[in-house]
A and B are shown apart, each in its own frame.
Chain A
Amino acid sequence: MSYINKPKFKHPKMQANDIGLTRRDYEGTLTTLCGGCGHDSISAAIIQAAADMSLEPHRVAKISGIGCSSKIPSYFLNKAHGFNSVHGRMPSVATGANIANKELYYIGISGDGDSASIGLGQFCHIVRRRINMLYIVANNGTYGLTKGQLSATADLGSKTKSGEESQFDNIDMATLAIELGASFVARSFSGDKKQLIPLIQAGLTHKGFAFIDVVSPCVTFNNTDFSTHGYKNTWENHIALNGVDFVPMREEITTSYAPGKEKEITLHDGSVVHLHKTGNNYYPTDKENALHHINEHKKQGKIATGLLYINQSTSDLHELQETVDKPLNSLGNQELCPGSEALNDINNTFR
């Protein structure tokens, strides 16, 4: 952490967005993470993404569990709602919040310990439940807060700073999410904001459960040459299956690409995700193909990144449950408790 606050001075030509806020207005408190922590870049990417999308901060809820990763929500959007929950239990709290008020943007922030170990069960079920939210795992392959033990996402053969080698296969959060039915799955790298920012924007806009596994190096405990989650290895081995651009719904599309070089995916609100081919001939709508590509890359020691899988035809929890249009938390006493006559009517349907 730093002893001084970030000065309020900003670039004099910094533009305000559609709702009159600059990027600086989307910041949180000054980070207390280690200098160089990938998690800070994730905060910065969320700040930029939210500013570019002109999100109203009070319409965002940030929810996290426990761990270095789960401190991240303090460091962005300090005007948003926030809940720092119990270890591994962010999915439950996010589910509850989303049930109560479906109109907010939900950003769940978790880590590999929080989501792949203590909270793995919760993770599996929130994916199944199709909560409309963006779930980010800041994945550094280590338990940084307890001084650098191997986590469940550490690759087989990767070593801790003290030299202990991982003897187990890793849990790949992205393939797990695809298999469990997540409708938007991406992987990125904290160091590559050009890729991460549009993925966050697309994930926030996607209707349904959006998951991004972000390789986010632990600069203090897991940034060695023999770690697969360090900066050097990730810079050298992360391969984008596609290039991603995000064009919000209200903006005119001005960029054009050579035919065959690019595909568009229109999201439910009219925003468009542009996917540029990167030589992999990859299109992320086929589940089997996605899993195949991810695993092929992994066999070669590569990390497949980009928009890995998207399916826009599934329904989210509220649609499946046929909840009323209004958010539940805005329903009044009259609507929630319609009286004995209404109860009788309901009971009569079962007779």
Chain B
Amino acid sequence: MKPTDISDPNYFHKVVDCQWACPAHTPVPEYIRLIAEKRYTDAYMINWHSNVFPGILGRTCDRPCEPACRRGRVEEEPVAICRLKRVAADYKSDIADRLPQVPTEKNGRHIALIGGGPASLTVARDLMPLGYEITLFEKDKLTGGAMRTQIPRFRLPGEVLDEELNYILQMGVNCRFGEEITSMRAILDEGYDAIFVGTGAPLGKWLDLPGHEEARDNIHTGIEWLASVAFEHISSIGKNVLVLGGGNTAMDCCRTSKRIGGEQVSVVVRSGFDEMKASPWEIEDAMNEDIPILNFHVPKRYITKNGKLVAMEFEKVRKEVDADGKRRLVPTGEEPATLACDDVLCAIGQENSFPWIERDLGIEFDQWEVPILNKSTFQSTHEKVFFGGDAALGPDNIITAVAHGHDAAISIHMLCEKQDISTRPNPITNLSSQKMGIHQWSYDNDISADLRFAVPHADKKKTLNDINIEVELGFDEQLAFNETMRCLNCDVQTVFTDKLCIECDACVDICPTDCISFTQNQNEPDLRRNLLAPADNEEQDLYVSDKLLTGRIMAKNEDLCLHCGLCAERCPTNAWDMHKYLFNTAKAENACQS
């Protein structure tokens, strides 16, 4: 193998698994260390700069960071990254003086944002401090988008939502509430320098089965129903409720039903329990509220009596995997199951929808009516029109929408500055030694062996009776501290200088997880097999040195490194040193600087 090029900004970024997995690339270990030091406000601001909604995401994020967490590979469970983020938000002090200054004198450019969800607001957050004038169109009377309409208040309290939305709106965003856009042509005609479309995926899917017409009054699509509950247009539901679907929307629907009148609330899914799309912790929370989940039930028809929905019929199936490994659901041949119900909530998917964009404006759509975009600039085929969030690539999550917003803001800024928007600004990186003394590092390398700490919940008796009582209480300061100590500090990198190495094996002997080998150079597959301990996780790189004195090379398997720094402590020549690698994606403010 060739020696590893550690000057490639992606090399060490990839080692920080959580940050690499985060769509917005939040510097996770850095803020976790700050929480450990009780520097909650500093921790919050690191989050705020990269993911804009730390308090919201600390409660609702899909947490792509956690399955990626290295801790999950050396122990059972990852660090509770998401809930630590909430700790930063819960315990921070006033941040008003830390927010970017918005110039009173504008730069003369005017941007329109369509839809008031996380993607649009991120664009506003990035461009307002640069002097842009921004007009935001929102069909509802409040911003927040899906964060407000699809996430129930018992998971995300209104004041947390409003606080973080207001940080942005108070920068002076010109909001046009209650205006449902019906024509993109009309918006274009208003003469904006750029238009960002962040309208989400607002169309819930119906399940059109026999009996649908007659039962219509008691069949709802999950997201529209959740929005109606959020805006208090709906405040009750029948006693027997069936929720169809196995995603996070279904979990929110069943838990919401349980709080506004549903007594027998069940979730019904077509396939197996372990194939459900919902996040495991959301399934767990629903089950904790005594909501049964029936799997392998395929809905067949709505049953009505006197023109009113009374039940649904399901075919029972089982999973079969054929010779090609293709999975099929096969009827078991049992009697169909009939489940009584007063209301049905369909949470089986959602789509984006652009009936308001005329098709002769130069904004092209593919065969599925999804806008054709450049995936890194988020520019459509119309130079001035950008898409982000669910509107861009279909239903995803909040943190992805935020990441789109940051990228689109860069593109819009570069477009306005007449620069080539395909040449993206470099990330901001810094690699610095953490050595304080012979055995002292400026980070705490003595990681805790504790298992993951659970977040305390409020009493079920209380929360099930009031839709506005938050279920999760969040970590207290002591629990939070204990959880931070589980973080392996993967951003503190093991940096190897081959010229200093005397091949004494001290690092090999001390490494707790057998990451380091000195061996003859080989091609990558052979090397992976022949290390001290095999490196079979190919998603994780090998860090390979140049030739050493004996003609061997040093090869380190990044996969299981605990970043404990013992290799560097035992190294007599400083060939190993621990360097903190800070990586921040470029934002609009970093573009157009040369």
Contact = CB atoms under 8 A, between A and B. Distances in A.
Q: Do A and B bind each other?
A: yes
Interface of A: 1-14, 24, 31, 34-38, 40-41, 43-44, 190-191, 193, 217, 219-220, 223, 231-232, 235
Which residue of B509, B510, B571 has the most chain A CB atoms within 10 A of its CB atom? Answer: B509
Nearest to B576: A35
A9 B515 CA distance: 12
Nearest to A230: B502
B439 A2 contact: yes
Given A3-B439, A36-B573, A191 B503 contact: yes
Contacts of B572: 34-36, 219-220, 223
A40 B533 contact: no
Nearest to B532: A11
A72 B445 CA distance: 25
B440 A232 contact: no
B205 interface: no
Given A7-B449, A40-B510, 18 more contacts: A1-B439, A2-B566, A2-B570, A3-B446, A6-B566, A7-B447, A8-B449, A9-B512, A11-B514, A13-B536, A14-B533, A36-B502, A37-B506, A41-B504, A41-B506, A44-B505, A219-B504, A235-B549
Contacts of A223: 502, 572
Contacts of B533: 11, 13-14
A190 B504 CA distance: 8
B73 A12 contact: yes
Contacts of B455: none
Q: Which 8 A-B pairs have the closest CB atoms?
A: A36-B572, A44-B509, A35-B570, A4-B446, A36-B504, A9-B74, A219-B572, A36-B506
B562 interface: yes
28 contacts: A2-B566, A2-B570, A3-B439, A4-B446, A4-B564, A5-B446, A8-B449, A8-B512, A9-B449, A9-B562, A10-B512, A10-B514, A11-B560, A12-B73, A12-B74, A13-B536, A35-B569, A36-B504, A36-B506, A36-B573, A40-B505, A41-B504, A41-B509, A43-B509, A44-B505, A191-B504, A231-B503, A235-B549
B593 interface: no
B439 A232 contact: no
A14 to B, nearest CB: 7
Interface in B352-394: none
Nearest to B502: A231
B75 interface: yes
A217 B564 CA distance: 26
Contacts of B571: 35-36
B534 interface: yes
Contacts of A14: 514, 533
Contacts of B506: 35-37, 40-41
B73 A40 contact: no
A9 B440 contact: no
Interface in B130-151: none
B419 interface: no
B561 to A, nearest CB: 11
B513 interface: yes
A219 B503 CA distance: 11
B549 to A, nearest CB: 6
A217 B504 contact: yes
Given A36-B571, A193-B505, A4 B549 contact: no
B513 A11 contact: yes
A293 B536 CA distance: 44
Interface residues of B, number: 34
**Interface of chain A, helix or strand or loop or mixed?**
loop
Nearest to A36: B572
**Interface of chain B, helix or strand or loop or mixed?**
loop
A3 B505 contact: no
Contacts of B562: 7, 9
Contacts of B513: 9-11
A6 B567 CA distance: 11
A13 B73 CA distance: 11
A81 to B, nearest CB: 23
A6 B73 CA distance: 18
A227 to B, nearest CB: 13
A302 B533 CA distance: 33
Contacts of A235: 503, 549-550
Nearest to A6: B512
A190 B509 CA distance: 11
Given A3-B440, A6-B512, A190 B505 contact: yes
B564 A36 contact: no
Nearest to B575: A36
Nearest to A231: B502
A107 B391 CA distance: 71
B513 to A, nearest CB: 5
Contact of A7 (B440, B512, B549): B512
Contacts of A44: 505, 508-509
Contacts of A9: 74-75, 449, 512-513, 562
Contacts of B74: 9, 12
A225 B74 CA distance: 41
B508 to A, nearest CB: 8
A15 to B, nearest CB: 10
B566 A4 contact: yes
Contacts of B560: 11-12
B452 to A, nearest CB: 14
Contacts of B503: 191, 231, 235
Contacts of B536: 13
